Amino acid sequence: MTIRDAVRRGAEKLKAAGIESAIRESGIILCFVIKSDKAFLYSHDDEELSETDEKKFFALVAKRAEGTPLQYITGHQEFMSLDFFVNNHVLIPRHDTEILVETVISWCRERRDLCLCRERYELGLCRERRDPNNCAGSRKIRILDMGTGSGCIAVSLAYYLDDVEIIAVDISEKAIETALYNAKINGVDSRIKFVKSDLFASIKDYEKFDVIVSNPPYIPTCQINELKDEVRHHEPIEALDGGKDGLVFYKRITKDALSYLKPGGLLAFETGFDQARGVADIMRREGYTDIRIFRDLAGIERVVTGMAP
């Protein structure tokens, strides 16, 4: 069978199973099987597949038709222009979460500029002294990633920010192993410490951070059964279920984070649809200041941040 015929027949099977982007996904699966890129498929579409590759391809097409997410089939997901290995022990990174990462990156860079300005002032190189209460006091920023999963947030922050120390925690040992692997393949494992922990349980009392960032489980328990089959049956439920109102983890993290954030430190959350205002209220009740809400590209209120008193 030629590459062209394989892609076509694979797409027919996926389309029959209700997969919307059937041709694209058929091509991606074949690229994965023969270890090539899409350009190769187009330029060699009349090339014959080996019997082994043909069998493997249609076996994976069948898995996709049964509902297995494409990312779990190929083991890859792009996030923040980086490549991440994924498996069924971790949530598949969503591009919506990039808004959270970009928000934290922007805040860290602004905070570092404040530190540099203060240092220049003390050396007599700058006339303006910034408010030290709004300065981290150190050029190395310490970040805690709460519920790291695949490590997409921690790894992206370590990749795009200089002079950061990151601790990334997760309750799942398998998730920690996956995140560590992703840190290694992206060359940032020396700047991230991975810790198995139920939220803050394994974080030392004396640890203080400039940033605590989290994309916690936020689906209300009653809505879990309404999720798409490929999410409900394949992605880890413990990483999705946010309790009765979907806000359980926001409440716990917001309260406990006060013991670990430096004064003026940032708490940053991703939130689910129609949750941002509720999360902002939780933060306000705990005494956080300068609470802000950021929208994603679809206009949905997706990220909430606040400053520790």
279-299 confidence digits (pLDDT tens) = 999 999 999 999 999 999 899
Q: In the predicted model, what is the mean pLDDT of residues 94-104?
A: 97
How far apart CA 147 and CA 161 sit, in angstroms, is 20
Which residues are paired to 209 by β-bridges?
261
Domains of the chain: 3-66 (1.10.8), 97-307 (3.40.50.150)
What is the pLDDT at residue 113?
Answer: 72
Q: Which tokens go with 221? A: 């328990």
Check if the beta carbon of residue 241 is closer than 8 Å to that of residue 219: yes
How far apart CA 226 and CA 216 sit, in angstroms, is 19
Q: Which tokens go with 174? A: 């398998």
Helix axes 22-34, 51-65, angle to 10 degrees: 140
**251-283 tens-digit pLDDT:** 999 999 999 999 999 999 999 999 999 999 999
Please state whether the predicted TM-score (pTM) of the whole model is above 0.85.
yes
Check if the beta carbon of residue 283 is closer than 8 Å to that of residue 254: yes
What is the pLDDT at residue 111?
Answer: 85
Residue 37: how many CB atoms within 10 A of its CB? Answer: 9
Could you tell me the pLDDT band of residue 182, with boundaries at 50, 70 and 90?
very high
Which residues are paired to 303 by β-bridges?
270, 294
CA distances from 42 to 146, 149, 256 (A): 43, 36, 54
What is the pLDDT at residue 120?
Answer: 46
What is the pLDDT at residue 139?
Answer: 66
What is the pLDDT at residue 112?
Answer: 79
Q: Is the pLDDT of residue 117 over 90?
A: no
* H or E element that contains 193: strand 192-196
